[in-house]
């Protein structure tokens, strides 16, 4: 297993974060979670300091750190309840794909406003008829000279109503096997023919889901991200990075909750805590094993396990917390 990364990097981030946060941040933390102005300021300051994507070169807003150091920074940020980025999809999902597959022109034009939070991004993946079957999407993008003509319908597109850009996945080769005929397009959501409709939800959240309707929308060929019909690779790479982030947040939330739940007087609940603690540590070990494989250039099935393991363990914890809380 990967040894503990160099502590000074985590300490440097912790010191920077302490200097940035308001003095009463932790006293009023529940309210700070919804303070969009604070979260915007945090993203801008973190970008300027190189913390948003620390493994990237400095010219792209990073620190040229290693993967192990970057993981330690993300764990430190979660443990210290750093402000949540106001547009998570941009830096955590879109940016890695843009960094890996984007042309120099695309990166120069789009990366800094994305990482700094000046321009928000949405993910145009889910569709009404496809469910969780991403490869079953039906949105079409037909190549017409130097542009694509796009028609289709996306749903559950988080923050599309506030975003300027969208990584839109569309079928560009209807005759190819379904996962091979998809391309990723960089869509300007202000383009003619784009209509964004927020979805009314019962829950309270600043991450509003939307439907996106596309009626003969023109997208320049220069806005193709990756190769033509290569959108599957872009999606896998982008979501792989997201999964690496999610397990850390799940692990920290479970560990915090277990510290509170251990004070329970319910013997049945208390006996279940040991099993949950073991699962939480298994989640952490799987995260580091995935990092080991990535550092060694090996395939990493653990990366695919992380999201499921984290979600299932977190759900088990909340079920147990509900029992511990009782009917009151």
Q: What is the CATH number of the domain that holds 179?
A: 2.40.110.10
Q: Is 242 a catalytic residue?
A: yes
Query: Taking residues 205-230, what's their average pLDDT?
Result: 93
Which of 142, 162, 207, 242 is catalytic? The answer is: 242
Same domain, 244 and 218: no
- Whether the pLDDT of residue 198 is over 70: the answer is yes
Residues 258-307 have pLDDT tens digits of 777 777 677 777 778 888 888 889 999 998 888 887 777 776 777 778 88
pLDDT of residue 4: 47
Same domain, 195 and 210: yes
Q: Which among 25, 34, 83 has a CA at the least distance from the CA of 204?
A: 34
> What's the CA gap between 259 and 113, in Å, rounded?
39
Instruction: Provide CB contacts within 8 A for 214, sequence distance 6+.
Output: 139, 150, 151, 152, 153, 154, 168, 193, 194
Pairing of strands 182-188, 140-144: unpaired
Same domain, 63 and 152: no
Same domain, 225 and 237: no
Instruction: Provide CB contacts within 8 A for 178, sequence distance 6+.
Output: 135, 136, 171
Structural domain contains residue 97: no
> What's the CA gap between 283 and 241, in Å, rounded?
16
Q: What is the CATH number of the domain that holds 31?
A: 1.10.540
**Which one has a higher pLDDT value, 217 or 31?**
217
| Six-digit token string for 128 | 């009404």
> What pTM does this model have?
0.87
Residues 65-102 have pLDDT tens digits of 998 899 999 999 999 999 999 999 999 999 999 999 99
Q: Which among 303, 176, 318, 298 has a CA at the least distance from the CA of 254?
A: 318
């Amino acid at each position: 297993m990967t040894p503990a990364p160099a502590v000074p990097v985590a300490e440097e981030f912790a010191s920077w974060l302490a200097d940035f946060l308001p003095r009463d941040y932790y006293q009023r933390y529940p309210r700070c979670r919804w303070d969009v102005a604070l979260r915007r300021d945090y993203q801008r300051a973190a970008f300027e300091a190189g913390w948003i994507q620390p493994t990237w070169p400095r010219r792209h807003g990073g620190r040229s750190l290693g993967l192990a150091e970057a993981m330690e920074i993300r764990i430190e940020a979660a443990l210290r309840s750093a402000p949540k980025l106001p547009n998570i999809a941009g830096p955590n999902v879109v940016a890695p794909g843009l960094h890996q597959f984007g042309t120099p022109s695309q990166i120069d034009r789009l990366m800094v406003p994305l990482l700094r939070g000046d321009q928000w991004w949405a993910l145009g993946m889910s569709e009404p008829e496809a469910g969780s079957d991403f490869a079953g999407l039906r949105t079409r993008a037909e190549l017409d000279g130097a542009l694509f003509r796009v028609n289709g319908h996306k749903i559950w597109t988080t923050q599309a109503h506030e975003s300027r850009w969208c990584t839109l996945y569309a079928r560009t080769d209807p005759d190819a096997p379904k996962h091979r005929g998809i391309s990723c397009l960089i869509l300007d959501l202000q383009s003619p023919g784009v209509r964004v409709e927020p979805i009314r939800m019962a829950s309270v959240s600043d991450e509003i889901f939307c439907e996106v309707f596309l009626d003969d929308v023109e997208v320049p060929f220069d806005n193709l991200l990756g190769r033509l019909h290569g959108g599957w690779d872009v999606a896998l790479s982008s979501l792989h990075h997201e999964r690496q982030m999610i397990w850390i947040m799940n692990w920290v939330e479970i560990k915090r909750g277990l510290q509170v739940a251990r004070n329970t007087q319910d013997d049945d609940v208390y006996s279940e805590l040991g099993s949950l603690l073991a699962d939480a540590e298994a989640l952490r070990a799987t995260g580091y094993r995935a990092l080991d494989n990535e550092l060694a250039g090996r395939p990493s099935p653990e990366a695919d396990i992380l999201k499921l393991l984290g979600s299932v363990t977190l759900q088990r914890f909340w079920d147990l917390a509900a029992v511990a809380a009782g009917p009151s």
